[in-house]
Amino acid sequence: MKYKVQPTMVERVMRDEDFIVSKTDRKGRITYGNRIFVEFSGFSEAELLNAPHNIIRHPDMPRGVFKLLWDTLAQKQEIFAYVKNMAKDGSFYWVFANVTPSYDAQGNVVGYLSVRRKPKASGVSVCDGLYRLMLEAEQKAGPRDACDASIALLQSVLRDKGMSYAELVLAL
């Protein structure tokens, strides 16, 4: 089922003790979500199961961040990221996410496990500003070249700082 959600300016803040956990198949369809995921997303468990994980994607998130995420996972590596999500009612919530591949007994990737916790406010501030710049680059480039423009801007910022994305988000 496709949902048309209108973003609002209402922010929900995770509690210190909360962990949002979800699992997806290799295509990013949700196969599991814990009660905190259901709570913050605003969707019922039935609405979440088998839905694409981008059901909670906030339009303020640049496509380049998700390209980086999927490219990293394709290399069978975990990734940490600050992510702004959108709930069913249009409210938003920031998370500090760790996404890692899940393997079967033969070592084949069968899906992904994502554990999200309350992010540091200073990290949200830095990432919010960076993501706004990335979104501007995407909009200027147009749909066809948006991801490349966004990634190029991110790489330029990281080069200037002398660090990788992982080093940046872990240092925040």
The DSSP result for 5-50, as a single string, is ----S-B----TT-EEEEEEETTSBEEEE-HHHHHHH---HHHHTT
**Of the candidates 111, 10, 9, 110, which has an alpha carbon nearest to the alpha carbon of residue 53?**
111
pLDDT at 40 over 70: yes
What is the per-residue pLDDT for 1?
52
Mean per-residue pLDDT for 45-72? Answer: 96
Confidence bin at 4 (pLDDT 50/70/90):
confident
> Which pair of structure tokens corresponds to residue 20?
């949002």
Instruction: Please name each of the domains of the chain with its CATH number.
Output: 19-171 (3.30.450.20)
A 10 A CB-CB count for 8 gives 12
pLDDT at 54 over 70: yes
Contact 135, 62 (CB under 8 A): yes
| Sheet strands side by side (includes 92-103) | 30-33, 19-25, 109-117, 92-103, 79-86
